[in-house]
Chains A and B, each alone.
Chain A
């Protein structure tokens, strides 16, 4: 297994390189000039030109790319154009926020989604199934934004139970941290629960009419155990895939929720970096995302091996 991890990680290296180059090229494709934005309203063309020079933006592309890659190889991701921060510190500052949010949200999504999915599959075509399905659909089609606002109005403004916005680091206490994140986490979860539920349901339906379920029943296993132990265990590959997928979604882009709840997460960071053409920051964040996603997915792959003994890789 150790070999598998090393092997997969080794594969990640060239991929990260590809991300690096792609990110770089993509940024070049974009119209808009970071120098103009940095210079601000009313700046003269000379001023802009100067900034361009200082940032080496006036040099040929290949040269810029080369320099950047060279620095990258030395572990230097460079500095943000806008933030007066190194890319690493900018990201390091926000990652805990995104990770916290993703983790709490996942902790809500996973049990709820799985529960709904399993119940819906079991009670297939009944009213329970219909309700679970409705919840699933509401989650995806009601704009997150709307839920977020309504939730703030209800829980923060009207009831005064939860803070309306802002992040409190874990270092300032577990409860404040949790209270600050619980609302956005639920809003995010609502969006994902449906997906997980539907996926679980579908996978469960595939498993439920297989022979070994009959065997379990023949042994006198009660329905709930048949459902959870015998059937659900067999859907874990599908469920894990979806969970991994949701996790990467949560880390990478919960821009709207971060925005509504004024959370300084990486989602907003990267969008703003794109919008302000903060090249080094975008490139750096993408690399980081790439790395995290590779990690998540390697972890999922390894979990596959654990949850389904039939799976094998060479």
Chain B
């Protein structure tokens, strides 16, 4: 049994908290969905290691000067897992399906026309200039991948899991495990680019990859220790010691996400910028970082260093102010009456959110601001954050793709979660961002956006956060970290 699930020369075993909710790429957004999907499906473009858009199934991409027409040349001889060859018709059908049912479909709102002049050419026309359209298409979340044309009318979540990726789905037992199997007819990208991020030359070096879903951190660690898993994700920071003692195991820290407090601008108590700023002033991030059981790094910025839009220390003044006295004064000026309770909403599903909120509650108390913590299930928390209902002032959440992928990915969040209304400054900056073909202009626009969000304390940055993974060095000597775990080009010893 230990053997049947454990060490196997043909199978990499990966333990993560949960399995995918769905493998329908057009509705898949959570990490657990994505880390499976990107092995099975591929899109026209994809991200490289620096999160930039690169061709994947496309061999060549032409963007018309007006930024409205995009022409993709498709790679030839790409086979679906069902043996059929991929053509432009499949691409078009996929886009059409995407538009019909993806939660992210609004980004295709400006599309006026798709055309397929020949089986290997695909053209998209937009009604408006979109300077970042390719960046939109590279999104790993709700990825714009290509499905066989027959899947076009399948309702959301009901597609057959057939892609063009290096692995195909072999078995999926909900709440237990999922097995990927090497796709023998995989059309390796031979354009000469080495593997890079999600693109480049991808090769399945092992027969199978088995994802095991193990919700308990303790169990995952045990599985790694016993050899029942080769690599595990989501190791709580305070349990790392158990792994670090072992010579054959290795701990990897990955900082690809950012955690924020989201402040509800429509809720009495936090409906004035002054009060929100008072709250921000009370916050010291060190204690919060200590409390959340994840790897963290201090950073005020909403993008990540190395990315195109990273702006250095520009908006640093809004970060980690840690001044309870001042915060108290500001709050009083903003009309806060002692005893009035700020409602903090969080969930136990994600301990790091809850822990941040608990510390926040203590810090507010120090500043003389009373609060009340409501721990609810994630379903309700998420729904309330979306709708603004549920009487909450502050909640906490984390963003992973948004900081990496650029301002276009942020837009919906920065408006919707804090329920921002009538912010001309923000609107103008975003308008400029989308319409300018000039990167420098767009960068300026982003700086304004970031400043506005942080200054108005729509969102209060806590830290860059990430995950701890651990693996068996002996079995996986050359596993490469990325913000989505990839098992191609990974040899197993």
Contacts and interface: CB of A to CB of B under 8 A. Distances in A.
Q: Decide if A and B touch, CB cutoff 8 A.
A: yes
14 contacts: A32-B383, A33-B383, A36-B386, A42-B29, A43-B29, A43-B104, A48-B386, A149-B218, A164-B222, A165-B228, A167-B176, A262-B216, A263-B176, A275-B349
Nearest to B379: A32
B113 to A, nearest CB: 22
Given A42-B104, A168-B1, A157 B225 contact: yes
Given A36-B382, A40-B103, A47-B106, A180 B1 contact: yes
B18 to A, nearest CB: 9
B94 interface: no
Interface stretch (A79-87, A117-125, A210-218): A79-87
Contacts of B156: 38, 51, 54
Contacts of A179: 1-2
Nearest to B141: A42
A157 B242 CA distance: 11
A276 interface: yes
B380 A163 contact: no
Interface in A12-69: 30-34, 36-48, 50-51, 54
A176 B4 contact: yes
Given A32-B380, A40-B30, A165-B223, A46 B215 contact: no
Contact of A164 (B158, B215, B226, B402): B226
Contacts of B1: 162-163, 168, 175-176, 179-180
Given A42-B29, A164-B228, A275-B377, A82 B22 contact: yes
B174 interface: yes
B245 to A, nearest CB: 12
Nearest to A180: B1
A162 B218 CA distance: 16
A32 B377 contact: yes
Interface residues of B, number: 56
B383 A156 contact: no
Interface in A236-272: 259-265, 268-269, 272
A303 to B, nearest CB: 33
Contact of B103 (A48, A157, A164, A175): A48
B163 interface: no
Contact of B383 (A31, A51, A166, A176): A31
A206 interface: no
Given A264-B175, A264-B176, A46 B106 contact: yes
Nearest to B384: A31
Interface of A: 30-34, 36-48, 50-51, 54, 82-85, 90, 93-94, 149, 152-153, 156-157, 160, 162-168, 172, 175-176, 179-180, 259-265, 268-269, 272, 275-277
A37 B383 contact: yes
Interface string B68-106: 000000000000000000000000000000000111111
A188 B285 CA distance: 41
B219 A261 contact: yes
Interface in B204-223: 212-216, 218-219, 222-223
Contacts of A172: 4
Contact of A260 (B218, B382, B383): B218
B103 to A, nearest CB: 3
Interface in B100-135: 101-106
Contact of A42 (B212, B216, B376, B412): B412
A172 B214 CA distance: 21
Interface in B1-30: 1-2, 4-6, 21-22, 24, 27-30
Nearest to A43: B103
B104 A153 contact: no
Contact of B28 (A40, A149, A166, A276): A40
B426 to A, nearest CB: 17
Contacts of B155: 54
Nearest to B398: A41
Contacts of A167: 176
Contact of B104 (A47, A163, A262): A47
Contacts of B193: none
B177 interface: yes
Contacts of B387: 33, 36
B103 A39 contact: yes
B235 to A, nearest CB: 15
Contacts of A160: 2, 226
Nearest to B213: A262
A301 B296 CA distance: 58
Contacts of A84: 22, 24, 157-158
Given A30-B380, A51-B156, A275-B379, 14 more contacts: A31-B383, A33-B387, A40-B29, A43-B103, A84-B158, A152-B222, A162-B1, A162-B2, A163-B2, A166-B212, A179-B2, A260-B218, A261-B219, A264-B175
A93 B173 contact: yes
Interface centre among B30, B156, B157, B176 (most CB of A within 10 A): B176
B411 to A, nearest CB: 10
B174 A83 contact: yes
Nearest to B216: A260
A153 B222 contact: yes
Instruction: List the 4 shortest-distance A-B pairs measured between CB atoms, nearest first.
Output: A43-B103, A40-B29, A32-B379, A264-B175
Given A54-B156, A259-B216, A260-B218, A37 B382 contact: yes
B413 interface: yes
A93 B4 CA distance: 20
B390 interface: yes
B379 A37 contact: yes
B29 A157 contact: no
Contact of B6 (A40, A153, A163): A163
Interface string B9-53: 000000000000110100111100000000000000000000000
Interface string B245-282: 00000000000000000000000000000000000000
A98 to B, nearest CB: 11
B482 interface: no
Contacts of A46: 106
Nearest to A269: B175
Contacts of B104: 42-44, 47
